[in-house]
Structure 1
Amino acid sequence: MTAAGQRETIEDSPVGWVASHIRRYVETDGADGGTFHGIPSLLLTTRGRRSGKLRRTALMYGRDGDNHLLVASNGGAGTHPAWYLNLSADPTVEIQVGAERFAARARTATAEERVRLWPVMTKVFPTYARYQKGTDREIPLIVIERAPQEESTID
């Protein structure tokens, strides 16, 4: 929250098609945008590691019980996406799945978890396997765990 008690401004992805996806998602509580080419999609809000501003992007996700799973593929690039660097610096995030918004904590899966969860995510989006083969970096798999109700959100 800002000093006046108003919610901070959230800056959406500067990538045109992603910003459009986010706008439709927010305007319809995920009815339009809750899937992307048939794959479940959520909105992730992180705090910029340098700017301190709230940043939002749309991402495909999988599930592991109550947890949401993300892959920091960056389209198979040799560098991590900005959203991953942000949550690595500050793991307090907010996600929106459909109409539901909630505070959460993000963390990179352990090596043991990754062995079990990577196949979950390559089933959701098989191209992740090709991305991993095409880069020297290990593409991070992120576990998003809902924060207890009494914890405040990132705003």
Structure 2
Amino acid sequence: MFVHRIVARLGHKPWFAKLGKAVVAPTDRLIGKLTRGKVVTAGLLPGLMLTTTGRKSGREFTQPLAYFPDGDGFILIASNWGQQQHPSWSANLIANPAATVELKGERFGVHADLASGSERERLWAIALKRWPAYDTYAERAAGRTIRVFRLRRSG
């Protein structure tokens, strides 16, 4: 898709990350909520709505995220647009790996595993094929290892 190729190129630009954080993420959150997860990430990447439990507050938080299929599971990359801090949703998943996903109008429970070692490398490579800008985000994160999760449906 032509538009995807252009946006993927722009994904490497610092201004794109700022725009994404300020405009795309809030817009995605609203559209994802209104469509029950049918439209997320402006349709450029596969998207889902992830609901986690706050590690401090115990409240539910819903975040629109790009995902990449991996067999019967889903890969999430906690890039936070290349910022130096991890996104809150990733810390919530580490504290409580049980979460809920809305995808294409379906809502279901998932369990999140933080990937490490060769599994992290494998999942990272899958994500990079679809969104090469993750390498740029990793450089910008300046010493922060970007967290990579694999979600699997729960019971």
TM range (shorter): 0.7 to 0.9
Q: Which amino acid aligns with 1:18?
A: A
C-alpha displacement of 1:20:
3.2
Alpha-carbon deviations, 1:10-40, whole Å to 9, x = none? Answer: xxxxx66534322322322344x23435111
Q: Distance between the aligned counterparts of 2:33 and 2:114, measured in 1?
A: 26
Structure 1 gaps, min length 5:
1-14, 149-155
**Secondary structure of the corresponding residue to residue 79 of structure 1:** coil
Residues matched between the structures, number:
133
Query: TM-score scaled to structure 1, two decimals?
Result: 0.79
Identity %: 35
Alpha-carbon deviations, 1:34-93, whole Å to 9, x = none? Answer: 343511111000000111100000011101101110001111111111000111111110
Correspondence for 1:88? 94
C-alpha displacement of 1:133:
2.2
Q: How does 1:6-155 map to 2 (within 5 A)?
A: 17-31=24-38, 33-36=39-42, 38-134=44-140, 135-148=142-155
Q: Which amino acid aligns with 1:28?
A: T
Structure 2 gaps, min length 5:
1-21
Q: Quick check: 81-90 or 21-30, which moved more?
A: 21-30
Alpha-carbon deviations, 1:124-154, whole Å to 9, x = none? Answer: 2111011112321110111111001xxxxxx
The runs of at least 4 aligned residues of structure 1 exceeding 6 Å deviation read none
C-alpha displacement of 1:122:
0.9
Query: TM-score scaled to structure 2, two decimals?
Result: 0.79
Q: Does the aligned pair in 1 maintain the 2:49–2:102 contact within 8 Å?
A: yes
Q: Distance between the aligned counterparts of 1:96 and 1:121, measured in 2?
A: 20
Q: CA RMSD in A?
A: 1.7
**Secondary structure of the corresponding residue to residue 29 of structure 1:** coil
